[in-house]
Amino acid sequence: MSEHSALSAALRPQRLALPAVAVLAAVLLAGCGKKESVDPELTASLIQPVARVELKVETVAPGSRTGEQIYKSICGSCHEAGVLGAPKSGDAGAWKPRLAQGFDGLTNSAIHGKNAMPPRGGGSDLTDTEVKRAVAFLANKAGAGFTEPPVE
């Protein structure tokens, strides 16, 4: 008998039927058996969350933030590293030409935006007085002697 005829004989449907039935029976019998009862209390304890996240939003009354608070929450993100040409906080050399504009000139730039800085530094909820506080705080870190408007 040639190799081809031996392979053909081994792959005849009659010869594959018995092993296929045996595999099918084994699979079906494996799923049979005594069902265990489900304990609802155990199930409930196993699916409990392991953690919970709560977000708390603190609201601040408009006009009540200090220059330092505004700097830390808004201005510092650019001025700490000098991002996009922003003068670095405390760098007297970078601030010298800006300080020459005076408090009103700096405040005007901060309120209306300048170069890459958006109006109010991106803090659209800032009042004009809060912007003035932030300007005084930031400029004073570079050596200006501006008076920060008081928080009322």
- The DSSP code sequence of 36-86 is PPP-HHHHHHHTS-S-----------TT---HHHHIIIIIHHHHTTTGGGP
Burial of 52 (0-12, 13-18, 19+ CB in 10 A): exposed
- Give the model's pLDDT for residue 54: 86
- Give the model's pLDDT for residue 11: 61
- Give the model's pLDDT for residue 7: 58
Ordered mean pLDDT values, 10 residues apiece, the chain (152 residues)? 59 74 82 73 86 83 89 92 91 92 94 93 92 94 92 83
Per CATH, domain 67-141 is 3.40.50.620:
no
Q: Which of 95, 89, 65 is nearest to 75 (CA)?
A: 89
- Give the model's pLDDT for residue 67: 92
Residues 6+ apart with CB under 8 A from 111: 119, 120, 128, 131
- Give the model's pLDDT for residue 68: 93
- Give the model's pLDDT for residue 10: 58
Domain boundaries, the chain: 67-141
Cα gap 152→131, rounded to integer Å: 15
